[in-house]
Amino acid sequence: MVKSNNKITNFTVGLAIAIGIAASNYIESNLTVPFAVNIVVTFLLSATVVHSSIFWILNKLINHSDTLLKFYWGKTYLKGYWSYTYTIDGVTKYGAWCIDQNTDSISIKGFGITDKGERRSDVQSLTSLIPSGKGYEVNRRRDISDDGVLPDFFYYSKTVIHLQQRNTFMNLFNYPLDMDGQTYIYGGELSGNVHKELKFAKHIEVKDEKGIEAIVVALISKSKK
């Protein structure tokens, strides 16, 4: 989903107005200038310098702090590394999503992994999550052929996601650690396939793509025992 910047905008506008009023009072009390000049200076100071600067600084601070980003997104904070499973034709498949997130949007890079621990698909988000009761993610994807070749062209898929909210103290940091949904594939050899019983689990201890890939491989190995 594309996040509205209303929270940041409202805060910066309010602060800019407060600073503008203070500046106007200072100019009126300490400088001998026409009232019109006072108004123009105050407006330029508030609308351009103060508001733009604070807005830019707040965006930078939030985007570089996971704690602030959690507060900002609340229950829709998804950034991190997720393993997933789904069932098709009675067989459980495994893969991973690497989700990046900032004050504006969410982006996803995903890949499926075969029973041999090799990547079988490459998925990249084309849109941010589209809010509509559940989240919708439109992706472009490539699936490795039977002879092990990853094609140069992409097809499309749509994943419908349900965020499983948690009960936390005062609803603080109640972002999901589990999600479920379905994926619909459009185009290619898998066109028409529906990946049902799609289950996601977040691995907060994982810090990079290699880490989540190793966890998924371990889950596949464990399922064979």
pLDDT in tens, the chain (225 residues): 545 566 677 667 777 677 777 777 777 777 777 777 667 767 766 666 666 787 888 889 999 999 999 999 988 899 999 999 998 888 999 999 999 999 988 999 999 999 999 999 999 998 888 776 667 788 899 887 766 677 778 899 999 999 998 888 887 889 999 999 999 999 888 888 888 889 999 999 999 999 999 999 999 999 987
Q: Which CATH superfamily is domain 74-223 in?
A: Quinohemoprotein amine dehydrogenase alpha subunit, domain 2 (2.40.128.120)
Residue range(s) in the chain whose domain bears CATH number 2.40.128.120: 74-223
Give 76's contacts (C-beta < 8 A, 6+ positions apart): 1, 3, 129, 135, 163, 175
pTM of the model: 0.80
Distance CA 104, CA 117 (A): 34
**Burial of 187: CB neighbours in 10 Å, binned 0-12, 13-18, 19+:** middle
Q: Where are the beta strands (DSSP E) in 105-193?
A: 106-113, 121-125, 130-132, 134-143, 155-164, 178-186
